[in-house]
Amino acid sequence: MIFMSAPIRILVVDPHELMRAGIRLACEAKNQLQIVGETDNLAAGSELVADLSPDVLILDLARCDADELTAIHELHVQFPETKLLVFTAVDGSDVASRLLSAGASGYLIKIAGLDEIRVAIQCVHVGRTFISHTHSME
């Protein structure tokens, strides 16, 4: 007998409609990934996490500055069951380290391909740390 596991429930917070559409496309290609909500800002995203209890929150951070790191920490403390996957254009191992220390489960650079996005979601969902292997050209 084959048992199907429940799909991974994903909430996407990104100010760019095109990025949200790309993440949606990546997830729709796999039956086990389900977008349960999306929004363009962190305040609405926090409310949706409370309402929807997603398994994974994909969160765009523009600068990975102190305010955004504080927001990651607060989300992690308030919703410990939701894994936080930060999706950002800010590249660097120091950035990844600061995000993970703040409570993120994973760090994904925005130039990642669709397969890497899917792998990152699946990794953080099962409790593993994910750090993007894709890096921008410097």
**Which pLDDT score is estimated for 4?**
58
**Which pLDDT score is estimated for 30?**
84
Dist. CA 126–CA 44, nearest whole Å: 26
* Tens of each residue's pLDDT in the chain, 138 residues: 555 578 999 999 999 999 999 899 889 888 899 999 999 999 999 999 999 999 999 999 887 788 889 999 999 999 999 999 999 888 888 888 999 999 999 999 988 888 899 999 999 999 999 999 765 444
**Which pLDDT score is estimated for 137?**
43
Report, in this order, helix, strand and coil percent for the chain, each rounded to 5.
Answer: 40, 20, 35
Name 133's Cβ contacts closer than 8 Å, sequence gap at least 6: 116
